[in-house]
């Protein structure tokens, strides 16, 4: 399971999705950005760990209610990748990203893997 798989699942669900730095302009429509969050080992094991995948969700300023809708769509689309991809339960606070003129939040997922 890779960021490419996550991106494909979101795109397959009809969500506009990009890799980091691929979209630089002001947010005009809801979209998601998939980011690799690194790979980590479990404290008790040198053989098994996990990788994190962070999905950044953006909606235009002034369309704040769409942020929860987009997050729900992301969750629904990625539930199809379970049990390989699982939510960590970490979701950021909703902020205003001045650079993109967007409301933003992140949702984090994890993938278990051999090291």
**Binning pLDDT at 50, 70 and 90, where does residue 93 land?**
very high
Q: Residues 71-84: pLDDT tens digits?
A: 999 999 999 999 99
Query: What is the pLDDT at residue 94?
Result: 94
Name the DSSP class of 25. Answer: S
Query: What is the pLDDT at residue 41?
Result: 86
The CATH number given to 3-114 is: 3.30.2000.10
Say how far apart CA 115 and CA 69 lie, in whole Å: 36
Say how far apart CA 27 and CA 100 lie, in whole Å: 5
Question: In the chain, which ranges are E strands?
Answer: 17-18, 31-41, 48-60, 85-91, 95-97, 102-114
Q: Residues 17-40: pLDDT tens digits?
A: 999 999 889 999 999 999 999 999
Query: What is the pLDDT at residue 115?
Result: 77
Q: CB–CB of 39/50 below 8 Å?
A: yes
């Amino acid at each position: 399971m890779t960021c490419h798989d996550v991106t494909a699942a979101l795109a397959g669900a009809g969500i506009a999705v990009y890799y980091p730095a691929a979209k630089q302009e002001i947010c005009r429509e809801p979209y998601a950005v998939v980011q690799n969050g690194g790979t980590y080992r479990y404290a008790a094991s040198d053989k098994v760990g996990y990788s994190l995948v962070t999905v950044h969700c953006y909606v235009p300023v002034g369309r704040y209610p769409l942020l929860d809708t987009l997050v729900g769509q992301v969750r629904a689309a990625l539930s199809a990748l379970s049990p390989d991809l699982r939510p960590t339960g970490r979701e950021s606070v909703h902020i205003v990203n001045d650079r993109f003129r967007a409301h933003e939040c992140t949702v984090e997922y994890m993938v278990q893997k051999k090291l």
